[in-house]
Amino acid sequence: MEAAASIPVPSVSRADAELATLTCAQYLAKHFIAQKGLQPGVPPEASAIAQACDVVLSGMEGVSLKIIAIVDRDVHPGKEFGLDRDALEAIGRECLKYCGKVKRAQMPVIIQVIEVENLASSDEQKRRLRKLRRSSRFGRVVLSGWIVHASASTVWTNLPWNGRLMGRPFIERLLRLPRHEPLSQPSVLTRAAVTPLFTYALIAALFGAYFCELAFATSPVKGTEAGLQTLVALGGLSHPLVAAGQWYRLLSSAFLHLNLFHLVMNGFCLYLAGRVLETLVGRGWLAVIFIIGALGGSAASLLINPPNLLSVGASGAIMALFAAMYVMSFRFEKIARTQLQSRALGVLVPSLVPLGASIGSGRVDYGAHFGGGVAGVMLGLLLVALWPKAEILPRFRKVAAFAAGLGGMALAFSLYAIVQAYPLFAQGIPPISSRSRMRKSRLARPTFCLATPTIRGPTSTRQSH
């Protein structure tokens, strides 16, 4: 007797069946809506774009308006996007009123035209879409043309680096993975706000260091401004002294400030960034970003600035906090992402670009700002990579706490080194070799920089905010 066994047939859910019926263009649009915070439709001024394509999406990316126009060539074989560059730029200029400003600088309108089909792209199609780029490097309308080859899971665009910085990896990942329902971006509000105790502790440490500047001054104090000799004695960043082996200054200089105004400005910016990131990533990772940002700012200040500048202040660390915040904002949904980016750009743009009277004044250490910003971007990318979408906080929080502990030990060593060297500085005898000793010269009036004050000439200062 033969026994017949039935072979189980895997059931197909209704959702999977619906996904299978979508064209590639429709499937991409579904994920753009769920994961990028875009919505169907465009402002009235861009209605011509909607008429020239099959699917049109729009939404705010930070403080910029983003429009994605998708041509579904699987439904309409051979269809071409019907507007040229000049028409798109004219529409974009009319839509600039929807974009925000950062320190009075107008943010752009971003328009992406994507043609999607299963067939391979032709040279003629690439030549046509290659023309969709902004006519001026400084134009306020950013255009780009894209071709998505669905069956080969490849993406072409006329953007630099083939669009790696503008969403190409996101599209390629959707093409290569099995079709699935999109997961909404996590919200910052998924974790209740915590009391920013570590941020308060950092601000208290900055004020404590400033009071030490006044109490242990080695030169006369003018109003609320610490003297240059005092800043050197208490750990200010000096190229000759670091070259002579006083590496602790890379960290100690981030806790010193030239005057009360410099301290209050940095303390306020630290509060704005710290209270958000302490909830967003936890205290351990916040401490790591601050410490590495301070070191990165000091290193860049030494590399970029002349060797006769003295630099002090927490701006390198603060730039790292805001840069990390901007990078991590892309992990979150539309409203939260816009809030994070607006806060970050409001500090980063004026701090990284010399504006107005700051140019040539020597009052801002843009080297420290740049170094801290680069460190923040790198740490932000690392955190996003270590941050599963299903979890509220990044992974490896114990590792971050251990690294923060090492940073605390390094700071304690810096304090010990300052206490040991202070008597010599108080007597006007810097403990460095004669070969590295700074040349004697007339004192110049101190200048300011946001994250770390800097000395111009043997005794001039730049302050970093």
Residue pLDDT, tens place only, 56-83: 999 887 678 899 999 999 999 999 999 9
Q: Exactly one of 31, 239, 369, 465 is catalytic; name it.
A: 369
β partners of residue 294: none
185 in a structural domain: no
Strands 109-117 and 39-40: what pairing? Answer: unpaired
How far apart are the C-alpha atoms of 113 and 169, rounded to whole Å? 17
Are 212 and 95 contained in the same domain? no
190 in a structural domain: no
Are 106 and 207 contained in the same domain? no
β partners of residue 65: 60, 109
188 in a structural domain: no
Are 140 and 217 contained in the same domain? no
**Full domain range(s) for residue 115:** 20-176
Model confidence pLDDT, tens digit, residues 410-439 = 999 999 999 998 888 777 655 554 333 433
Are 37 and 84 contained in the same domain? yes
* pLDDT higher than 60, residue 153: yes
Are 221 and 328 contained in the same domain? yes
Model confidence pLDDT, tens digit, residues 391-404 = 788 889 999 999 99
How many domains, in total, are found in the chain? 2
Are 301 and 437 contained in the same domain? yes
183 in a structural domain: no
43 in a structural domain: yes
Are 108 and 224 contained in the same domain? no
* pLDDT higher than 60, residue 453: no
Model confidence pLDDT, tens digit, residues 353-368 = 653 333 333 467 888 8
3-state SS, residue 387 = coil
Are 121 and 212 contained in the same domain? no
Max mean pLDDT among 220-234, 245-259, 333-347, 389-403 falls in 245-259
Q: What is the pLDDT of residue 463?
A: 53
Are 302 and 410 contained in the same domain? yes
Q: Exactly one of 253, 301, 315, 329 is catalytic; name it.
A: 315
Q: What is the pLDDT of residue 270?
A: 95
Are 240 and 117 contained in the same domain? no
What 408-414 contacts at long range (C-beta under 8 Å, 24+ apart), as own/partner pairs, is 410/248, 410/251, 410/291, 411/251, 411/252, 411/255, 413/248, 414/235, 414/248, 414/249, 414/251, 414/252
How far apart are the C-alpha atoms of 169 and 187, rounded to whole Å? 22
DSSP annotation of 459: T
Helix axes of 283-304 and 366-385: crossing angle, nearest 10 degrees: 140
Kindly report which listed range (173-177, 270-274, 283-287, 449-453) carries the lowest average pLDDT score: 449-453
Positive/negative CA dihedral, 331, 162, 68, 141: positive
246 in a structural domain: yes
In CATH, what number is assigned to the domain containing residue 459? Answer: 1.20.1540.10
Q: Are 352 and 365 in contact (CB under 8 A)?
A: no
4 in a structural domain: no
Q: What is the token pair recorded at 209?
A: 């260091």
Q: What is the Cβ-side half-sphere exposure of residue 9, based on CA atoms within 13 angstroms?
A: 4
What mean pLDDT value characterizes the chain? 82
Are 335 and 399 contained in the same domain? yes
32 in a structural domain: yes
Active site residue 315: yes
Are 227 and 78 contained in the same domain? no
